[in-house]
Amino acid sequence: MSEYYNPKRKSNLYDPNSTIPFRLSRSKIDLFLNCPRCFYLDRKLGIAQPPGYPFSLNSAVDKLLKKEFDILREKGEAHPLMKQFGVNAIPLKHEKLNRWRDALSGGITFLHRKTNILITGGIDDLWINPEGEYIIVDYKATSKDSEVGIDADWQIGYKRQMEIYQWLFRQNGFKVSDTGYFVYCNGKTDGEKFDAKLEFDIKIIPYKGDVSWVEKAVQEAAACLRSDKLPPSGIDCDFCKYRQALKSVEE
**10 within some domain:** no
**156 within some domain:** yes
Looking at the predicted structure, is the pLDDT value of residue 231 above 80? yes
pLDDT of amino acid 3:
54
Q: Model confidence over 58-98: pLDDT tens digits?
A: 889 999 999 999 999 999 999 999 999 999 999 999 999 99
* Separation of alpha carbons 231 and 217, rounded Å: 15
* Separation of alpha carbons 201 and 68, rounded Å: 16
Give CA angle at 69 (158, 150), nearest 5°.
20
Residue-number span of the structural domain to which 81 is assigned: 18-250
* Rounded average pLDDT over 12-36: 96
Q: Model confidence over 126-157: pLDDT tens digits?
A: 999 999 999 999 999 999 888 899 999 989 99
**145 within some domain:** yes
**168 within some domain:** yes
Q: How far is CA 120 from CA 15, 53, 191, 248, in A?
A: 18, 23, 41, 38
**114 within some domain:** yes
Contact criterion met (CB below 8 Å) for 43 and 167: no
Contact criterion met (CB below 8 Å) for 93 and 74: yes
0.75 exceeded by the pTM? Answer: yes
Task: Specify the CATH number for the domain of residue 169.
Answer: 3.90.320
Domain count within the chain = 1
**58 within some domain:** yes
**4 within some domain:** no
**132 within some domain:** yes
Q: Model confidence over 234-248: pLDDT tens digits?
A: 999 999 999 999 999
